[in-house]
Amino acid sequence: MTEEYDISASNLKPPTSKSVIIVVGPTAVGKTALAIELARWLGTEIISADSRQCFRELNIGVARPSEEELAAVRHHFIASHSILDEVNAAVFEAYALQTVKAIFRQHDNAVMVGGTGLYVKAFCEGMDEIPAVKPGIRAEIIAGYETHGLTWLQEQVLAHDPIFYASGEVQNPQRLMRALEVVLSTGRSIRTYQSGQKQPRPFAVHKIGLDLPRAELYDRINRRVDLMMESGLLQEVSDIFQHMSYTIRNGTRPNALQTVGYSELLDFLEGKCSLGEAVDKIKINTRHYAKRQLTWFRRDPSITWYHPADTAAIKKWLVTRLTCV
């Protein structure tokens, strides 16, 4: 290696324990590029902590790593599931813990990257067990949300689970739908299943956050959406629409399709808006999503923040944590 902070250099002591380096931040900030650079520098593998890149049917709209990027470093939790599969934070926790255990058989470190804060939290701290949702309830909630919108969803959660409504992410439809399906299935607030007790992990965790000035980040988001459209996002969504036309048209879109970039173009294909309106909504909703991601990660004091171009400083910071003092 030629990097200034080569962790294999003879003058540095070996890691004191197994470690997972987690790269987080808002969409379009440059997490994938940094994760690949770090994984190659460390000689290890990557676990994606993205709740949408795991679906085989979704590619362009979720900014899945390119074939070249996937070939550069072995990735896990990429195109590993179908949009018809039940994938949630608990599923990810089990998957990621099993995967990192396997990685540690060959490497001292692993890299995790993604913007799904709940998945990162589940991996680091564990998830409380919540009873299974009764069949049909999720589909009814999704159909209600698609028909009546966010205000209806908020009203339903306020009526059925005021405990969650008082402290939960009431602007996040996924969190609202999850809270509603739990209370309708069990008769108890989702908060009663959340003990807040962190589960110990047999490895160290080092979190790196990436951020950019807001105007620069939003410009990146807008340009990324335009590039996605040029790369065939509409055709990708159209293929999904044709393949799953009965399910989608009957108001039961799989949860995976409640995703920015897909839900807006499905609305266009169903004649609910023009293509231009759909693209504008994708940009607006992606910017809102990035803001929610930053709000989530900013609450975590264990994250050390950098500009995505500060790779030398990031490596230097990691060396101090991956080696003995």
The answer to whether residue 188 scores a pLDDT higher than 50 is yes
Rounded to whole angstroms, how far apart are CA atoms 318 and 228? Answer: 33
89: nearest Cα among 113, 56, 124, 38: 124
Sheet holding 75-76, edge to edge: 75-76, 46-48, 109-113, 19-24, 204-210, 303-306
Entry pTM: 0.82
Residue ranges of domains in the chain: 19-130+199-212+300-322, 137-193, 216-290
The answer to whether residue 242 scores a pLDDT higher than 90 is no
19-130+199-212+300-322 and 216-290, same CATH topology? no
Amino acid at the residue 253: R
The answer to whether residue 6 scores a pLDDT higher than 80 is no
The answer to whether residue 252 scores a pLDDT higher than 70 is no
Binding-site annotation, residues for substrate:
27-32
Comparison of pLDDT for 194 and 198, the residue scoring more? 198
Q: What is the mean pLDDT of the chain?
A: 89
pLDDT of residue 175: 84
pLDDT of residue 167: 79
Amino acid at the residue 177: M
Domain 19-130+199-212+300-322 classified CATH 3.30.420.140?
Answer: no
Binding-site annotation, residues:
25-32
State the average pLDDT over residues 175-196: 87
Q: pLDDT tens digits, residue range 15-54?
A: 447 999 999 999 999 999 999 999 999 999 999 999 999 9
Q: pLDDT tens digits, residue range 205-219?
A: 999 999 999 999 999
pLDDT of residue 245: 65
Binding-site annotation, residues for ATP:
25-32
Comparison of pLDDT for 139 and 82, the residue scoring more? 82
Q: CATH top-level class for 216-290?
A: mainly alpha
Note whether 273 and 10 are within 8 A (CB).
Answer: no
pLDDT of residue 248: 59
Q: pLDDT tens digits, residue range 120-152?
A: 999 999 987 777 788 789 889 988 988 888 899
Domain 137-193 classified CATH 3.40.190.10?
Answer: no
SS3 category, 195? coil
